[in-house]
Amino acid sequence: MRIKILALLSLSFAALVFTGCDGGKAQMGTQEANLLGIAKVEKESYQPSGSTTFAISTDELYTRKNYDGDKVTLLWGLVTLKDY
């Protein structure tokens, strides 16, 4: 009986210790999806593209008024499509 109570208390304590929040980092961080480097999508990423990629902006392809800031990188960074 005493071992069961001790086990229950230690399990409850472990659940309290190991359960927590991430401090809001998950909501504030960049949203990213990566498919083995072949295609990588970054939501709301206004980072400049590097000099080793062919950067194509969506305003070069067609006119738009509402930019999302999304960036799609193809073929391990060879081609970058930016929406900003």
Structure tokens at 76: 């391990």
pLDDT at 28: 57
Whole-number mean pLDDT of the chain?
76
**pLDDT category, 25, cuts 50, 70, 90?**
low
Which domain does 23 fall in, by range?
2-82
The candidate with the shortest Cα–Cα distance to 83, out of 36, 50, 49, 35, is 49
24 residue type, one letter: G
- Structural domain total, the chain: 1
- Whether the CB-CB separation of 30 and 41 falls below 8 Å is answered with no
- Whether the CB-CB separation of 22 and 46 falls below 8 Å is answered with no
Residue 62, class by beta-carbon neighbours within 10 Å (0-12 exposed, 13-18 middle, 19+ buried)?
Answer: exposed
